[in-house]
């Protein structure tokens, strides 16, 4: 097919939107019009995985899974010696997530294949649409663990041994799901990895832009913190004699917030989990467990934030006579994506006439780890008020269609080496 005809090819925005609406049934939060709770390897995730496998097989793709449950749906190319061009993201969501984070990228990959199938086009490279297990890290820490195993950042055993709050391991949840495969994660090469995702922030919408050409992802560090004091009777223990773990944890929370504000426009800090024990209204807590998420575009910035956190812990221990442990859980350094993949994305965006800018991602994505083993790049579309990890997360059909068309045209260009 001539480059012109390929350049004129477009996805079916209507079919993509229909698939987004159809799969929103899996994990829909009752009483909300868009909220999603599709925790990794839950019944809802298993259901959407089965839907995805059937939809891929319906257009002639062969589907395999690896030993951490990642799904690889492959369409052959004309040159079987070439590694596949991957289009990946994730089907799992946060507990109060939306219907576009992750799944937009997976279904846009399916739509790209459906479009090639309808047009009778065979690419040089095989095309592989990937659903990475446990991108969110909401059930099993860390986030992006399956793409991390694929890239060699984590061992398979370490990942499968991670437990959720009920003590269930990822390996047990995977065995129960029926999606434990034979292939060793990372067992095959990727020629490139493209990921379409909602921005999950306010920049594109605020600037009235249609596409983000994502140059990389900022650094992320996760910690578990335990604050131990002494449980005591609410009615008989004088305040000056208490070693109240919740009071100390609350002071620490204020310090973490100040650290997030220390480098405006760059530093971010979040406490997502904060649990006091024993959790009785007339017993002062003896223990508080919390999580800390620090983010910054540069490593020195992250180091400064971590040093400030450690100083705050030292000071509170001395002042309030409590014991505070800080356990690093995950460290994801800032990553830059591949120039050739990014130029294919930018060229496709220009050719399609969409307004755009280059930008760094505040959120982590599986592309962080695929970038370690394959040329990788990402495409953003705006989302309403930049809201995500929230049941109000929303985009328009046109935004989904624009992102998927950039994905299609960038992959076709990259396949032909048009931007090399």
Q: Which residues are near ligand HGY by CB under 6 A?
A: 135-137, 143, 363-364
Smallest distance from ligand HGY to CB 222, Å: 9
- Residue whose CB is less far from ligand HGY, 136 or 195: 136
Q: Residue 401's binding partner, choosing from Mn ion, ligand HGY, none, with beta-carbon cut-off 5 to 8 A by kind?
A: none
- DSSP assignment string, 220-275: EEEEEEEEE---EETTTS-GGG---HHHHHHHHHHHHHHHHTSSTTT-EEE---EE
* 301 vs 364, beta carbon nearer ligand HGY: 364
Q: Tell me the Ramachandran region of residue 178: left when phi exceeds 0, alpha when psi lies from -120 to 50, beta otherwise.
A: left
Distance, in Å, from the CA atom of 91 to the CA atom of 136, rounded to the nearest integer, reads: 9
Helix, strand, coil percentages, rounded to 5, for the chain: 40, 25, 40
Alpha-carbon distance of 276 to 249, in angstroms, equals: 9
The first and second tokens of residue 223, run together, are 């910690």
Reading the block at residue 234, the tokens are 């609410």
Return the one option of Mn ion, ligand HGY, none that residue 111 interacts with (CB less than 5 to 8 A, by type): none
Supply the minimum distance, in Å, between the C-beta of residue 361 and Mn ion: 10
CB closer to Mn ion, 38 vs 75: 38
The smaller minimum CB distance to ligand HGY, of residues 151 and 284, is found at: 151
In the complex, the smallest distance separating the C-beta of residue 137 from ligand HGY, rounded to whole angstroms, is 6
C-alpha distances in Å from residue 154, one per residue of 108, 141, 144, 159, 377: 28, 12, 10, 7, 22
Of 105 and 364, which has the nearer Cβ to ligand HGY? 364
Pick the closer one to ligand HGY by CB: 229 or 364: 364
Contacts of 311 (CB under 8 A, 6+ apart): none
Q: How far is the CB of 234 from ligand HGY (least distance, A)?
A: 37
Radius of gyration of the chain (CA): 23
Judged by beta carbon distances under 5 to 8 A according to partner kind, the member of Mn ion, ligand HGY, none in contact with residue 364 is ligand HGY
Least gap, CB of 39 to ligand HGY (angstroms): 13
Pick what 143 binds: Mn ion, ligand HGY, none; C-beta below 5 to 8 Å, kind-dependent. Answer: ligand HGY
Interface residues with Mn ion (CB under 5 A) are: 101-102
Q: Which does 45 bind (CB under 5 to 8 A by kind): Mn ion, ligand HGY, none?
A: none
The interface partner of residue 137, options being Mn ion, ligand HGY, none and the CB cut-off 5 to 8 Å by kind, is ligand HGY
Shortest spacing between CB 29 and ligand HGY, in angstroms: 18
Nearer to ligand HGY, 272 or 339 (CB): 272
In our burial notation (b when 16+ CB lie closer than 10 A, e otherwise), range 81-114 reads: eeebbbbbbbbbbbbbbbbbbbbbbbbbbbbbbb
Look at residue 102 and give the partner it binds from Mn ion, ligand HGY, none, a contact being a CB closer than 5 to 8 Å depending on partner kind.
Mn ion
> What minimum distance in Å lies between the beta carbon of 272 and ligand HGY?
10
């Amino acid at each position: 097919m001539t480059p012109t005809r390929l350049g004129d090819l477009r996805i079916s925005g209507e079919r993509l939107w229909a698939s987004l609406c159809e799969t929103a049934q899996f994990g829909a939060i009752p009483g909300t019009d868009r909220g999603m709770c599709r925790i990794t390897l839950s019944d809802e995730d298993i259901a959407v995985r089965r839907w995805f496998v059937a939809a891929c097989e319906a257009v002639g793709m062969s589907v395999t899974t690896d030993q951490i449950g990642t799904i690889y749906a492959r369409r052959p190319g004309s040159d079987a010696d070439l590694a596949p061009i991957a289009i990946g993201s994730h089907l799992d969501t946060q507990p109060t997530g939306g219907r576009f984070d992750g799944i937009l990228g997976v279904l846009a990959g399916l739509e790209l294949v459906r479009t090639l199938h309808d047009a009778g086009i065979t690419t040089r490279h095989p095309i592989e649409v990937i659903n990475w297990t446990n991108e969110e890290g909401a059930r099993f820490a860390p986030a992006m663990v399956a793409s991390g195993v694929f890239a060699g950042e984590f061992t398979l055993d370490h990942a499968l041994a991670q437990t959720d709050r009920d003590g269930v391991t990822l390996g047990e949840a995977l065995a129960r799901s029926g999606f434990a495969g034979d292939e060793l994660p990372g067992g095959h090469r990727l020629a490139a990895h493209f990921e379409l995702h909602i921005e999950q922030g306010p920049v594109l919408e605020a600037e009235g832009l249609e596409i983000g050409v994502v140059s990389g992802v900022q650094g992320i560090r996760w910690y578990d913190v335990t604050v131990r004091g002494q449980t005591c009777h609410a009615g008989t223990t004088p305040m000056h004699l208490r070693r109240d773990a919740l009071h100390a944890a609350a002071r620490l929370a204020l310090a973490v917030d100040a650290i997030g504000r220390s480098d405006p426009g760059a530093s971010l800090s979040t406490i997502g989990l904060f649990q006091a024990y024993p959790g009785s209204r007339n017993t002062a807590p003896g223990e508080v467990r919390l999580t800390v998420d620090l983010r910054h575009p540069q490593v020195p910035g992250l180091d400064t934030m971590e040093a400030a956190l450690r100083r705050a812990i030292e000071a509170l221990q001395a002042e309030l006579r409590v014991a505070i442990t800080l356990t690093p859980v995950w460290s994801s350094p800032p990553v830059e994506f591949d120039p050739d993949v990014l130029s294919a994305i930018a060229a496709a965006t220009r050719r399609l006439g969409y307004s755009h800018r280059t930008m760094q991602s505040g959120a982590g994505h599986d592309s962080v780890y695929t970038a370690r083993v394959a040329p990788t790049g990402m495409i953003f579309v705006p989302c309403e008020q930049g809201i995500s990890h929230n049941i109000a997360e929303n985009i328009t059909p046109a935004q989904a269609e624009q992102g998927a068309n950039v994905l299609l045209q960038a992959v076709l260009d990259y396949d032909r080496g048009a931007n090399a």
